[in-house]
Structure 1
């Protein structure tokens, strides 16, 4: 369907929790400063690991009065509250809408599994914390967001599409709004890594001992991060009717899945995903001003992703590429949503977020990765790439809003 004949879907609110800053102002300041939120792991005993670094959110306080929610859920609810406030929606107005809550997550509140396992060893099954045992199901995260606002005419769904889950959530919201099934959507992602996830990747040799350094010749792996990012999406007609400020337009998205390898995406399918997103959006490669890479900082991912970019852009120079996992870590199910919020802030405030911790560019990654320092610019059209285990790929195209 031609883009001019479709319902235009716009972003009217954003909320974010991250290791470099919370809320639109805190996150914006962190991105512009090229802040890196990495530090030593504090939430589990790291004895036996030669190194244990992570991007923990140091300034988010867990609410002990809301023990029905784990840390991931509380962060996601907090990001959703920020997004709704940013959108200008009064809670009563939001409750009157047919709505969708779509939250991508890899592990949800699986950090509770670590605690329950330790409790079982110490005390046995009979004395396990029933509340803690009930709250790590992934579906509880979007339900908690819906309950926070008292939404009743709502579909809450969790998208466990691993590290591409945030873009899957946004695509799901776009489809629901265009089909007329819902009037407004709260979508994005939230995750907090646990000991199990860290240990798995550590055993694979994929964890960097120091920091994530995408596209660098001496990169040594990924570093996990935690946090949440939520966007308010609605039709342009809805936004106009209530006099809302429009932050950006979601032109379209695309998904592919190759099931080629558990941890190694197939380049041809990544290329197809990116090309399909641009084609669906009606955007020529030459129109893209900025790309947010998946950019994990692993030896396998970065050259493959850069080769996919070269195929997609062809004779057109590859636009600048930001690798923000260098700043916020790999936030798993929230990663793509964090990138989409960063893209909106970049368009709104006129800059290119940097790829920090950068020394020497890998010859196999011949791109402009905006090394170390944010750059003044006017990105108008942004392509956000996200890749997940098992070949679950998702790309979203955002554009600066034009009336």
Structure 2
């Protein structure tokens, strides 16, 4: 099996419109959380989200392109473009023939569907926009990326709630490692900040009324975010041969199902997924010095995840942080944003903090890197994604 590296990453989030702004935001420890511009937040019990308020569609696409792109698909293309450019991919017909595109999205283009419903049920129209189906389909991001670069290998989208893009990256990794694909563009995108989605999450009573405080005793819930992130994966030997600069190596992937409850997480499933990722990596436990936690700031997730981490690592020292405290919970895109955060942490020798941290919780007894980034180089890290439905996906990365 081939060693697999990451040669390019791209990000758009509430922290900024590219990977540099994303990383600057993460290392500053300042949350990009507040009202969504152009939306009346007074209609919700909560007032804050993590919106990509600085993103301008018209700055990235022509009007005729925007007619075919829901916001989530725009995020996928913008992030992919940045990742491919950083990787310096030189497209050949042979490379295009088998390159894979594997993306994750929880909701896909539901925002486009909502516009149609509004026309039908609020404005009493008897028809919807003729492009509603291609705008709303969850695979639109993957399909548009494939069309942009002319790739003809496997192209598909995984929808496993908040583990969607972590599952996508893991499967793309296995494809490249096995030789099934010579390269993969992989990650995820999500645009869940529309009325129906926000009202549905409001009904669950898991949204914080102010901000996201993972692992704090006074945490009050998650903050919804939007954005996208993409990574270019390729065999390490091929990358070095063409003069590319690997950012980090992806070395393991583990996935499990709790088979327990639709919304309440199970420590057993999380524990097993982490152990599978570590085993798949071939690394020793002590080589892992950091975990980018799922860390949603809900009461159930943080305590269960903390216990799972302690079960896996025991007394082994490992730093843990939740970057959702700054870019919000981007649902199906979360695993991709956090994978990029993990890769950049290894590359730059800086561990991003858990922002907004106030009061220790005895049930979350971990080194959570509170509020300030930590300049320290670690050899390897995990990135956890645990979804509704009991679907767990853990990625393992190693510094190069």
Give TM class, smaller chain. Answer: over 0.9
Q: Which residue of 2 aligns with 1:332?
A: 331
Tell me if 1:28 matches 2:23. Answer: yes
Q: Which residue of 1 aligns with 2:243?
A: 243
Instruction: Report deviation, 1:47.
Output: 4.8
Instruction: Report deviation, 1:50.
Output: 2.5
Any idea what SS the aligned residue of 1:163 has? Answer: coil
CA distance in 2: counterparts of 1:263 and 1:232, whole angstroms: 32
Instruction: Report deviation, 1:274.
Output: 0.6
Q: Which residue of 2 aligns with 1:52?
A: 47
CA distance in 1: counterparts of 2:359 and 2:94, whole angstroms: 49
Any idea what SS the aligned residue of 2:126 has? Answer: helix
Instruction: Report deviation, 1:114.
Output: 2.2
Any idea what SS the aligned residue of 2:393 has? Answer: strand
Instruction: Report deviation, 1:21.
Output: 1.9
Contact 1:68–1:132 under 8 Å retained in 2: no
Tell me if 1:165 matches 2:143. Answer: no
Cα deviation 1:349-397 (Å, max 9, x = unaligned)? 1111011111111111001111111111112201111101111100011
Any idea what SS the aligned residue of 1:234 has? Answer: strand
Cα deviation 1:151-203 (Å, max 9, x = unaligned)? 2x221100101111121111111121122221000000100113333222211
Distance verdict in 2 for CA 1:48–1:20, change over 3 Å: closer
Contact 1:68–1:135 under 8 Å retained in 2: yes
Count residues with an aligned counterpart: 394
Distance verdict in 2 for CA 1:351–1:261, change over 3 Å: same
Any idea what SS the aligned residue of 1:228 has? Answer: strand
Instruction: Report deviation, 1:76.
Output: 0.6
Q: TM-score, normalised by structure 1?
A: 0.94
Contact 2:258–2:268 under 8 Å retained in 1: no
Q: Which residue of 2 aligns with 1:175?
A: 174
Any idea what SS the aligned residue of 2:347 has? Answer: helix
Tell me if 1:185 matches 2:180. Answer: no
Any idea what SS the aligned residue of 1:336 has? Answer: helix
Q: Which residue of 2 aligns with 1:155?
A: 154
Q: Which residue of 2 aligns with 1:267?
A: 267
Q: Which residue of 2 aligns with 1:19?
A: 14
Contact 2:36–2:53 under 8 Å retained in 1: no
Q: Which residue of 2 aligns with 1:3?
A: none
Structure 2, unpaired ranges of 5+: none
Instruction: Report deviation, 1:94.
Output: 8.3
Q: Which residue of 2 aligns with 1:39?
A: 34
Cα deviation 1:8-59 (Å, max 9, x = unaligned)? 0111110000111222211111111112111113454445423232100011
Contact 2:257–2:390 under 8 Å retained in 1: yes
CA distance in 2: counterparts of 1:104 and 1:48, whole angstroms: 30
Cα deviation 1:309-333 (Å, max 9, x = unaligned)? 010012323x110100000000111
Higher mean C-alpha deviation, range 173-182 or range 10-19: 173-182
Any idea what SS the aligned residue of 1:300 has? Answer: helix
Instruction: Report deviation, 1:99.
Output: 0.7
Tell me if 1:398 matches 2:397. Answer: yes
Distance verdict in 2 for CA 1:199–1:377, change over 3 Å: same
Contact 2:15–2:327 under 8 Å retained in 1: yes
Structure 1, unpaired ranges of 5+: 1-5
Instruction: Report deviation, 1:144.
Output: 0.7
Distance verdict in 2 for CA 1:46–1:33, change over 3 Å: closer
Contact 2:216–2:361 under 8 Å retained in 1: yes
Instruction: Report deviation, 1:284.
Output: 2.2
Q: Which residue of 2 aligns with 1:217?
A: 217
